[in-house]
Chains A and B, each alone.
Chain A
Amino acid sequence: MLELIKWLNEVPISVWLREMPYPFPIIETVHILALGASFGTILWVDLRLMNVVMRDRKVSDVVEQLEPYAIIGFTAMFLSGALLFLSEPIKAYGTMAFRLKAVMLILAGVNIWFFHRGIYTTISQWDRAKILPWQARFTGFSSLLLWLESSLPAAGPLTSNGVSEL
């Protein structure tokens, strides 16, 4: 694995991203805005699944209306994040914060995939239910937790370059 990371570090685009003054801040800005769009929309789906907000609205209404933005935001965040990683692979790979964050993010993705494949296929039965199935509540809760946790390493001395000082 380390060999691969070392090789990545020397790829021309990696060197370019690292040595030019502008790419990093610009990509990082895109990354943060995309994070806002994805977390900001996924948050409301999670809170709905946990029955915290919009309790009188159909679950599917909330999911359908927000998902396009969440997907666009997530894709942009993932791509810009990959470039940020590429700009200093060795540094990122070596930080515990980055590893944690990557794992949390993958888990968040798996979580929502399971939700769609699983309990969401029977949405018509509980779309307006007073008490949502535990799988739905669990998805909301765990998704929120994973998102918050994956944002934690973003701050402070743990990271190499961090999203600090926002």
Chain B
Amino acid sequence: MNLVQFFPLAVFQWCQHTAIGAYVEHSTWVFAITETIHIICLSILLGATLLLDLRLLGKGMTRESIVTLSQTIRPWIWSTFVGLVITGIVMFNSEAVKMSRNRGFFLKVIFLLLAVLFQLTIHRRVTSSNKSEGSGSAKLAATLSLCCWLGVALAGRSIAFF
């Protein structure tokens, strides 16, 4: 499965012909710098999610309350997420046509959508109250969130191999 099965190829060609796409495609350093920012954002985001999920699982940071910890961490999650999406779009535009046929990229998009979906629903609910301490739904939310973000990272890594 890949993206080009769901969207017309013209969409990807257009992406690649946008000013950003064309510029990045022909510049080695812009891509490298963008990718570096992307990786730094990803590490911070994964670290932040890991911390919160460990807390929900009762495996780490147990001296902090769920709500306080999630309030501390949430801004970091969303700001690095924005950074990831922006740098991601820049890189995608530079090789949109190639990515549209890449199975790894397709998987990554799916995991990303799932991760965001869980983050905004179950995850948000269990982190908004300390009553979810040790509950099944807190553990489920943490496990799902960890799996989705791992999926994003692994599928992202697999892009190079497809």
User: A98–B38 Cα gap in the complex (Å)?
Assistant: 19
Residue B150 is within 8 A (CB to CB) of chain A in the complex: yes
Which residues from A are CB-within-8-Å of B43? 35-36, 39-40, 43, 151
Contacts between the two chains (Cβ within 8 Å), count: 97
In this complex, the interface size class of chain B, counting residues with CB under 8 Å from chain A, is 35 or more
Main SS class of interface, B: helix
Residue B54 is within 8 A (CB to CB) of chain A in the complex: yes
Interface segment out of the listed A25-33, A81-89, A112-120, A134-142:
A25-33
Interface segment out of the listed A9-17, A123-131, A155-163:
A155-163
Which residues from A are CB-within-8-Å of B154? 29
Contact (A40, B159) CB under 8 Å given A35-B43, A57-B64? no
Of B60, B61, B72, B160, which one neighbours A53 at CB under 8 angstroms?
B72
Residue A54 is within 8 A (CB to CB) of chain B in the complex: yes
User: A41–B48 Cα gap in the complex (Å)?
Assistant: 8
Residues of B within 8 A of A (CB): 28-29, 31-33, 35-36, 38-40, 42-44, 46-48, 50-51, 54, 60-64, 72, 76, 150, 153-154, 156-161
Residues of A within 8 A of B (CB): 25, 28-29, 32-33, 35-37, 39-41, 43-44, 53-54, 57, 61, 65-66, 68-69, 148, 151-152, 154-158, 163-166
